[in-house]
Structures are given as structure tokens and as C-alpha cells.
């Protein structure tokens, strides 16, 4: 008689496992703007299918909840129904025996509390407050609303210069974005429903790498209006580009010796080579933008002067000031701020870290840039001290993995407590307190707590502080530009409410964010400054978009971009990402589902041809 058998999965289970994967990808590709009640009801149905049926609240209660949500959706509910849903969910949360029950009810509870307004709209008017207002997912998620299906179609036809022209309609930094954009467009790509998102950034890179020099379109006739732009970063340059195209004269005041803002002074050459950045800037300047570098608004001139002299002012100063950790010893020699170090590198002043032991404090992309730059500057060892876990880092996972591959040591769950200096005041060690990961906080992230372990001494020669940047907003506050919690208080239209003619956008309004958001802010500002100046210019592009192909779309893997090996790349600041081959670009571009033509896109929101 056998006592045990080896567990094997049966065919039915294999199919279901496959469907789970399908569903996971489908949820990833969920379009924005779905009815929260409908989603709660649908999720609940799935959750309920998981119940074992043993305990009453889960078996019966979830059924009743399903029925009540259906009543809300079909217009049979009253306000009492909504209250009953909340009560029922509360009871199940409180009394179901296992997580299958209480977590299912918790989802409903979150929904009915978080979206109560929408439940009420269903009850009172039989409809939802939500609507699918921008249904091409990649375009909807790109802050600058770049016509992504359009340029992918152009890439697939080999029309790279047209692709660049089309991108520039909404984003004058096609090259910079091809190399370093965080590509929010890929997050909900509908292709996920079949296999995986389209490598959009990779295709853009293929386009810019093969387009040659694509000149800017002609400017509209001069309006005689002059707009001052404070800050020559991606936001300021974007605004300047579109204002020039509209016929206004844009004058940029940049504090640093060179243009580019964080693209130059925040992002290392190996991610965005300077000469590639110049490609975008050259085209922008070719429209006739006037540039004054080395001019600090607040020192040489005031924003009030600008307001007097110019017809409008756009403040796009970014977030370039240091933030301190606030631990003892931070003023020791060789404690460097990330901003300062990257600024020096941007100005081609390369520090020599040969033989030095470097510790970086922080867990964001800037911390990774610092760590990886330190490796390239010859550091003997580089570690990154972070108080949470590696998975909690806000840096992109590929940046963290890249840093590790290049030999950086990630000290996770290590909170820096003090910096120890030798008798000459030079850093000699970073002390860290080990942490234990703990309960999830209000921000939804698990927080670190002090572990019952001894403080640790990490012997180092250099400490780089990369825990975020602040905004030099004081001067503007002094001149009547409203500032709230350190950021400039501008509206969604980028206008500054109390100061007509003054606009602001980008990092100095949102706090440190992404390049594409700064570009989008510049675009919004240009449009609204144009209106403010009494014009209605529009920016458009006459590139004709190829017809969607009518092929079947069988599943096909996503082409990822190759990188040079860690050993090859870590000794220099040269770029290490290898663009796609023609074969790869061709295949990858054919994976695009053309949501501008199929589905809701062809009905509404397929293409905004001008703005």
C-alpha cells in the first residue's frame, strides 16, 4: 500500500493557470476611466469564485454584495442600498474566516467609501460619473500626448524623419526622450492583453537614430510679442520652441553655463550622451530662441523686471537645490550633494574617485546615477545605503539592477545615522542602523522600523547625499509669485492665478518629476501664453499616418534592448544601451495594435491633429 503520491497538476488546472496569467496581463492593460462600481462588482465575482464556502460571511455575504452592486448598476438601488453595501462589506471584513473573504469585502469597502459619489450618481441618475475620455492608452498616459501609434506606424514604414516630425508636434525632445524617458506610455499598452507591452521607447530610439537631421517647421509670422523664460531645461526649452513656432519671440534666461537643465545637469552621459542632447537643443534653437546663459533671475535680474520688459513670463526653474539628510557629521569634508556632483559633471568637471570608497544615501534614480557615476570615476567600492528594502526603492528596477551589475553594493534596510570624520574633518565612515521592514503606511508603502541590532560602521571616504531636490522659489515668493510648501503655486493651465502674464510649470511646480512631464508643462504653457497674448495659433503636423495593417496579431515576444556588459561599460561614461536592429524594429513596430484605428480610438480620441 502506498502512503504518499507525487502531486501533479491536471490539465484543467494548467488551463486555469494560463487564464490567471491572461487576467494579470489584462488588468495591467486596463484602460483608464472605467466605472468603479462595475469594476468592484466584477472583481467581487472573481473573488467569490475563490471562496471555499465554509464560512457564512464569505459564502453568503459575498453573494449578497454581488446582488446589491448589481442593483446599483441596473438602477434598482436606493441610497439605503449603498448604506447596506457598506454595512454588509464591513461585517464580512470583520467576520470572514480567511483572507479570501475579508479581503474581497475590503475591496468593496474601499470602493464604496472611495467612490461614494459615483455610487450616488448611479442611484440618482442611473449612470456613472466616469467615461472613457481618452481611449488610446499610450497617448492617454503620455503627459505630452505624443501620437505614439502614429509614429510607430511611421517607423514600421521606414519613415523615420516623418516619425520625428510627428513626435515634435507634441514633444521637441524626441532624442532625449528616446534615450531616457520613463515611458509611462508602455504601462497600460493594450498589447499586454496578448503578450507584453510594445517597446515604445525603443522604437522611438530607432526613429531618431535613423532619421538624420530633421529641421524644425517654419515659424508663424512674427507677432512682435516677447516671452521671457526662466530656466533652460526641458520645460523652458519646450515652451520656447512652441512659442517661436507660433511667431512669438522666446528669450531664455539660464543660470548655468549651458542649456538642458536636468537633462544635462542631472542625467549622466552614459544614459543621455551630451551630443545627443545637443541634437534636440540645436533644433529648438534653430527656431530663433534667444538664450542668455549664466544669468540668474533673482541675482542679476528680478522676475519683476522680466514681467515689466516682456509680454509674458514662464518660470521653469526646475528643482535643483540640495536636500540634507539631517544627520550628525553631514558638514564633514567629502560629503557631497548629488546635485552638486552631477552639476560638475554636466560642466565637464569630473571629480577623481580613484581608489575611494563611496557611500550613496538614497533610493531613487538619482542615487543610482550617483552610484554608477562613482564607479565610472574610479571608485574602489560603491555602496548605496537605503532605509527600506531594495524592492521599495523608487529608482527604476533596471537602474538598480544596472548598478548592482556594475559592482555597487546595495545596503538595504540600513538607515544612515551619522557620518564619522577623522581629525582633519574628512569623512571616514558612515554609520547605519539596521532596520526591519514593518507595517504599510498611509502612502501604501511598508515603512522601516529600527531592528534590534547594533549600529554598523561602514568605512568610506566619500558620502554622496541623493535624497531628493528642492526648489529655489524664495526669490519668486518675494516678488509676489505664490509659493506653497516650497513649490510655485500654478494652475493646471500653468497660469499663476494672482499674477496675470506669469506662468510656471515643470519640477518647480510639481516637485521633482520626469522629463516628459516638464515637456508637457512647457507645451501647455506655450498654448496658454499664446491665448493670453491674444492669439489662437495651433501647432499641427502634416505627416500622413499610414493605414493600420489588417493582419492577425498572434502572440509575439517583446524586443528588449541589449546593453553592453557591466565590465565593458563601467569604466567610461559612454552610452551602453544598444538600439534595436532593423529586423527588431520592424517586428516590434508590427506588434502595435493601432488603438487609434481599432476599438474606441477610431470613434473618439484616435488622434488629436492639432493643439
Partner 1 sequence: MVTLTIDRKQISVPEGTTILDAAKSSGIPIPSLCYLKEINEIGACRVCVVEMEGKDKLITACNNVVEDGMVLYTNSPKVREVRRTNVEFILSQHDSHCASCVRSGNCALQTISNDLGITSEPYEKFLTHTPWKKDFPLIRDYAKCIKCMRCVQICDKVQSLNVWDISNTGSHTTVDVSHNRRIEDADCSLCGQCITHCPVGALRERDDTQKMFEILADPEKITVVQVAPAVRAAWGEALGLPREKATMGRLVAAMRRIGFNHIFDTNFSADLTIMEEGSEFIARMKNHSLDRYPMFTSCCPGWVRFLKSQYPELVPQLSSAKSPQQMFGSVIKSYYAEMLGVAPEKIFSVSVMPCTAKKGEAELPSMNSAGAGQDVDLVLTTREIVRMIRAEHILVEDLPEEACDLPLGIGTGAGVIFGATGGVMEAALRTAAYMVTGKNPDPDSFKEIRGMDGWKEAVFDLSGTPIRVAVASGLGNARRLIRALRRGDVHYDFVEIMACPGGCVGGGGQPIHDSEELAETRAENLYGLDRISNLRFSHENPSIQKIYREYFHQPLSEKSHHLLHTDHEAWEMPSAPSLELDPSEYLW
* Binding residues vs partner 1 (CB under 8 A): 33-35, 38, 42, 73, 75, 121, 125-132, 536, 538, 547-548, 550-552, 597-598, 602-611
CB 538 to partner 1: min, Å: 8
CB 268 to partner 1: min, Å: 38
Residue among 35 and 341 whose Cβ is closer to partner 1: 35
Residue among 40 and 312 whose Cβ is closer to partner 1: 40
DSSP string of 283-350, one letter each residue:
HHHHT--EEEET--BTTTB-HHHHHHHSSEEEE-----B------TTTTSBTEEEHHHHHHHHHTT--
- Spatial separation of the C-alpha atoms in residues 106 and 564, rounded to whole Å: 47
Helix 36-49 to helix 116-125 angle, to the nearest 10 degrees?
110
CB 145 to partner 1: min, Å: 11
Residue among 429 and 527 whose Cβ is closer to partner 1: 527
Residue among 247 and 288 whose Cβ is closer to partner 1: 247
Residue among 37 and 291 whose Cβ is closer to partner 1: 37
CB 2 to partner 1: min, Å: 47
CB 552 to partner 1: min, Å: 5
CB 191 to partner 1: min, Å: 15
Tell me how far apart the terminal alpha carbons of the chain are, to the nearest angstrom. Answer: 78
CB 244 to partner 1: min, Å: 21
Four-residue CA torsion sign, 107, 30, 166, 592: positive
- Spatial separation of the C-alpha atoms in residues 504 and 522, rounded to whole Å: 9
Residue among 131 and 293 whose Cβ is closer to partner 1: 131
Residue among 483 and 602 whose Cβ is closer to partner 1: 602
CB 192 to partner 1: min, Å: 18
DSSP string of 538-575, one letter each residue:
--B--PPPPPPP-------PPPPPPB--HHHHTTS-S-
- Spatial separation of the C-alpha atoms in residues 75 and 290, rounded to whole Å: 60
Residue among 131 and 560 whose Cβ is closer to partner 1: 131
Residue among 547 and 581 whose Cβ is closer to partner 1: 547
With cell 552631477, the residue in question is 342
Q: Note the residue count of the chain.
A: 611
CB atoms within 10 A of CB 54: 12
Contact status, residue 543 vs residue 165, Cβ threshold 8 Å: yes
CB 111 to partner 1: min, Å: 15
- Spatial separation of the C-alpha atoms in residues 195 and 556, rounded to whole Å: 7
Give, as one character, the DSSP assignment of residue 174: H
Give, as one character, the DSSP assignment of residue 57: I
Amino acid at each position: 500500500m502506498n502512503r504518499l503520491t507525487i502531486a501533479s497538476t491536471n490539465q484543467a488546472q494548467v488551463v486555469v493557470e494560463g487564464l490567471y496569467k491572461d487576467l494579470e496581463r489584462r488588468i495591467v492593460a486596463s484602460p483608464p476611466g472605467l466605472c468603479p462600481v462595475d469594476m468592484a462588482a466584477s472583481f467581487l465575482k472573481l473573488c467569490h469564485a475563490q471562496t471555499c464556502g465554509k464560512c457564512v460571511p464569505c459564502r453568503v455575504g459575498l453573494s449578497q454584495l454581488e446582488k446589491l452592486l448589481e442593483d446599483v448598476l441596473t438602477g434598482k438601488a436606493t441610497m439605503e442600498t449603498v448604506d447596506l453595501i457598506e454595512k454588509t462589506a464591513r461585517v464580512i471584513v470583520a467576520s470572514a474566516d480567511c483572507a479570501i473573504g475579508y479581503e474581497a469585502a475590503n475591496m468593496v469597502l474601499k470602493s464604496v467609501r472611495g467612490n461614494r459619489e459615483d455610487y450616488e450618481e448611479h442611484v440618482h441618475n442611473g449612470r456613472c460619473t466616469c467615461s472613457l475620455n481618452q481611449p488610446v492608452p499610450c497617448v492617454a498616459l503620455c503627459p505630452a500626448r505624443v501620437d505614439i501609434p502614429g509614429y510607430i506606424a511611421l517607423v514600421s514604414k521606414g519613415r523615420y524623419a516623418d516619425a520625428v516630425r510627428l513626435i515634435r508636434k507634441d514633444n521637441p525632445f524626441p532624442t532625449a526622450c528616446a534615450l531616457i524617458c520613463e515611458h509611462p506610455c508602455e504601462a497600460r499598452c493594450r498589447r499586454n492583453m496578448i503578450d507584453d507591452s510594445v517597446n515604445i521607447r525603443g522604437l522611438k530610439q530607432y526613429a531618431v537614430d535613423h532619421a538624420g537631421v530633421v529641421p524644425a517647421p517654419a515659424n508663424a509670422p512674427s507677432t512682435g510679442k516677447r516671452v521671457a523664460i526662466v530656466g533652460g531645461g526641458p520645460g523652458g526649452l519646450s515652451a520656447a520652441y512652441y512659442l517661436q513656432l507660433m511667431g512669438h519671440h522666446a528669450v531664455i534666461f539660464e543660470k548655468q553655463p549651458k542649456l538642458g537643465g536636468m537633462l544635462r545637469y542631472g542625467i549622466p552621459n552614459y544614459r543621455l550622451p551630451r551630443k545627443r542632447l545637443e541634437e534636440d537643443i540645436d533644433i529648438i534653437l534653430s527656431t530663433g530662441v534667444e538664450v542668455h546663459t549664466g544669468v540668474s533671475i533673482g541675482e542679476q535680474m528680478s522676475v519683476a523686471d522680466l514681467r515689466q520688459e516682456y509680454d509674458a513670463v514662464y518660470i521653469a526653474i526646475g528643482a535643483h537645490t540640495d536636500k540634507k539628510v539631517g544627520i550628525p557629521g553631514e558638514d564633514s569634508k567629502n560629503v557631497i550633494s548629488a546635485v552638486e556632483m552631477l552639476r560638475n559633471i554636466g560642466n565637464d568637471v569630473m571629480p577623481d574617485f580613484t581608489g575611494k570608497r563611496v557611500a550613496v544615501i538614497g533610493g531613487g534614480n538619482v542615487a543610482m546615477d550617483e552610484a554608477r557615476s562613482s564607479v565610472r570615476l574610479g571608485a574602489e567600492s560603491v555602496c548605496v545605503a537605503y532605509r527600506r528594502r531594495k524592492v521599495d526603492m523608487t529608482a527604476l528596477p533596471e537602474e538598480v539592477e544596472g548598478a548592482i551589475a556594475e559592482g555597487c553594493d546595495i545596503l538595504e534596510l540600513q538607515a544612515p545615522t551619522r557620518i564619522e570624520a577623522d581629525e582633519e574633518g574628512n569623512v571616514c565612515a558612515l554609520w547605519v542602523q539596521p532596520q526591519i521592514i514593518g507595517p504599510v503606511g498611509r502612502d501604501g508603502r511598508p515603512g522601516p522600523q529600527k531592528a534590534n541590532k547594533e549600529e554598523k560602521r561602514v568605512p568610506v571616504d566619500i558620502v554622496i547625499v541623493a535624497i531628493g531636490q528642492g526648489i529655489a522659489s524664495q526669490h519668486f515668493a518675494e516678488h509676489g509669485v505664490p509659493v506653497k510648501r516650497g513649490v510655485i503655486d500654478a494652475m493646471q493651465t500653468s497660469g499663476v492665478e494672482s499674477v496675470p502674464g506669469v506662468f510656471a510649470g515643470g519640477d518647480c511646480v510639481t516637485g521633482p518629476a520626469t522629463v516628459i512631464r516638464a515637456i508637457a508643462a512647457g507645451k501647455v504653457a506655450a498654448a496658454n501664453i499664446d491665448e493670453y497674448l491674444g492669439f489662437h495659433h495651433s501647432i499641427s503636423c502634416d505627416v500622413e499616418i499610414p493605414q493600420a495593417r489588417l493582419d492577425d496579431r498572434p502572440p509575439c515576444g517583446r524586443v528588449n534592448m541589449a546593453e553592453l556588459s557591466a565590465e565593458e561599460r563601467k569604466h567610461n561614461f559612454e552610452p551602453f544601451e544598444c538600439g534595436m536592429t532593423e529586423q527588431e524594429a520592424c517586428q516590434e513596430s508590427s506588434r502595435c495594435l493601432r488603438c487609434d484605428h481599432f476599438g474606441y480610438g477610431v470613434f473618439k480620441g484616435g488622434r488629436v491633429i492639432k493643439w
